[in-house]
Structure 1
């Protein structure tokens, strides 16, 4: 699933291609927006909030609009030169295409696609916690939200976008490993939640500007992660076998090193 850094990078690529451009033709391929037309509107900004992407549009004499999308597991935005073939994804997955004189932005398999007045963006993203990639990142508020439910497993709390926005399964697993915290530790028992939040913030922001995600510092294939998707392989630190478990609030996969992350194990550990 695309995480906060991937959405941030996607917003920047889109912005570089179409910000300041006037849309000459729009093609929406979802029922709720079948009649929508933003031809003549100018792309003022490509922004994001957590895992949500926001294209802000302006037009003289009209109230600004925002085209909202969520990538979820398999969504993507691609940009092409005018006249270039739209390769990379099947055509039946196209949900929207925005044509401008400089580029065409094509959204594949997008979710929660909506066109709303910009002043109503809070309806779509107002529930989110502090944005790990945002300029207004507030670590203290993120910690406060995490600790509001001290009995909750820290792995589930980190994935809750209402606590802090941008973390997915990859950064959940890697942050907990690097801080030596068991995923099943009650949030209220985490020794230093501020340091945990700071580590997550540092990891996501270290991948600004590139789509290859690394938490180890290496960009070599097979060397980018500590525990994520490494079940059955030896821990890079202690050589203990990395474990995998599925469960929790949304039946998500968790990876961890039993030696480097001591403490509570999953309910079915026995």
Structure 2
């Protein structure tokens, strides 16, 4: 599942392949961009902002994409067989004389002027992987609604950019609280934000996300995706409930250990 670390690594790989080279191929397969042709323009850079990807090209333009649940960008050498899904799932192709970047299942793809990027990322909170990471500002935003369930607050990208459902579950487990605890009752919000930044940084160089230390490496994750399996700390079966966190219509399953994590249970 793409979260801030996955998007950061994707941006780095796209940047390595495209930065400073002139596009000789451009195919944007969404209706509103069908006539856009970026050939002849050099890519200035590709950067991540939370879960958003910004591909900046000459002429002051930015191709903005978002991976959501299962989108992906893949980079191939010229002549290499593309692997990432069937052809009908391709939404974008950007290529130079050496590499080709192919975007699969991209739910968000639009073109805007670089000086107007705030239209799509200006609402985001501090990014733990950004050069301007500001823990105090993230803390202020997180605490601005003390009655809000912690899980909802962590998923709200206006508070903290890049944290998704996997990190929601893992951060709550490490803090030993349930995701339904009101933010104002969180014992140490500063420590949670420090942990979020540490885990995202530790995982940004790899796609096989890991939150457990080597001594507990029976699983890469403590609770996410482990419903019914024993908790790595106490042996109690990990529980899962659906549709309690996330935007209406895009709710996600939530995992937790009912013994290790203190706080309210999920609403019935």
TM-score calculated relative to the size of structure 1: 0.94
* 2:68 corresponding residue in structure 1: 72
Alignment of 1:1-150 (within 5 A): 1-58=1-58, 62=59, 64-150=60-146
Matched, 1:178 2:174: yes
Unaligned 5+ runs, structure 2? none
* 44 and 198 in structure 1: CA distance in 2 versus 1, 3 angstrom threshold: same
* 1:194 corresponding residue in structure 2: 190
Equivalent-residue separation in structure 2 for 1:219 and 1:178 (angstroms): 15
Equivalent-residue separation in structure 2 for 1:57 and 1:186 (angstroms): 43
Q: CA-atom RMSD, angstroms?
A: 1.6
Equivalent-residue separation in structure 1 for 2:49 and 2:93 (angstroms): 22
Q: CA deviation at 1:247?
A: 2.8
**Which residue, out of 144, 148, 151, partners 1:152?**
148
* 2:225 corresponding residue in structure 1: 229
Equivalent-residue separation in structure 2 for 1:25 and 1:186 (angstroms): 50
Which string of whole-angstrom CA distances, capped at 9 and with x for unpartnered residues, describes residues 168-188 of structure 1? 111000011011111111011
Which string of whole-angstrom CA distances, capped at 9 and with x for unpartnered residues, describes residues 39-65 of structure 1? 01111111010000011111xxx3x11
Q: CA deviation at 1:211?
A: 0.8
* 1:168 corresponding residue in structure 2: 164
* 1:254 corresponding residue in structure 2: 254
Q: CA deviation at 1:262?
A: 1.4
Tell me which stretches of 4 or more aligned residues in structure 1 moved more than 4 Å: 218-222
* 153 and 122 in structure 1: CA distance in 2 versus 1, 3 angstrom threshold: same
Bigger mean CA offset, 216-225 vs 244-253: 216-225
* Local SS of the residue matching 1:158: helix
Bigger mean CA offset, 243-252 vs 106-115: 243-252
Equivalent-residue separation in structure 2 for 1:212 and 1:249 (angstroms): 24
Q: CA deviation at 1:131?
A: 0.7
